[in-house]
Amino acid sequence: MQGKVWTFGDNIDTDLIIAARYLNTSEPSELAKYVMEDADPEFVSKMSVGDIIVAGENFGCGSSREHAPIALKAAGIAAIIAPTFARIFYRNAFNMGLPIFELKEANEIAQGDEVRIDMESGAIINVTQNKSYEFAPIPEFMQELVDAGGLIAFAKKEIMEKETGESNE
């Protein structure tokens, strides 16, 4: 995956990702219209599908709402890179199929840089700065969740495989 970088600081909480005033819906396409609005009111109009957010420490802190990773993914954010993530956001992101990467040097990546993420080699390549970083590997099961599109899609796939396997016996 490769995209343009949008940077945000430390402690970006779930209210900044998707404000509580928009939580009267769980419809991803509706949530996507307002992602990061309170951090940058013009973010959605400036970003493109496939872009990458690079943030500071503790991204996704605050309430445990699943709406935050849903909104980011629905808006077209390809991935999030940060030194640390709030624990519940970390799990919710994978459950929703949104890839996130812990990178202690995230602050070296600037807004507007082009970044490529090579999940096979475990590298984040800053194409603009011609720098490469190694990220903490994603556990295999978490990678399976992302590949499937999230926990629900993963579970449906597992059920279908079991049903197919049982009917073929």
Task: Read off the pLDDT band of 165 (50, 70, 90).
Answer: confident
Q: pTM for this one?
A: 0.88
Contact 122, 116 (CB under 8 A): no
| Residue 121, phi-psi category: left (phi > 0), alpha (psi -120 to 50), beta (remainder) | alpha
| Tens-place pLDDT, residues 109-150 | 999 999 999 987 889 999 999 999 999 778 787 888 888 888
| Tens-place pLDDT, residues 21-60 | 999 998 999 999 999 999 999 999 999 999 999 999 999 9
Strand positions, DSSP E, 77-130 = 79-82, 100-102, 114-118, 123-126
- Give start and end residues of each alpha helix (H) in the chain: 14-17, 28-32, 43-46, 67-75, 87-95, 140-148, 151-167
| Tens-place pLDDT, residues 69-86 | 999 999 999 999 999 999
Token representation of residue 158: 């597992």
- Alpha-carbon distance of 40 to 8, in angstroms, equals 9
Contact 119, 65 (CB under 8 A): no
* CATH code of the region 2-137: 3.20.19.10
Across 84-112, average pLDDT: 95
Measured CA to CA in angstroms, residue 75 lies from 32, 43, 50 at distances of 4, 10, 9
Does the structure show a pLDDT above 80 at 169?
no
Q: Where are the domains of the chain?
A: 2-137
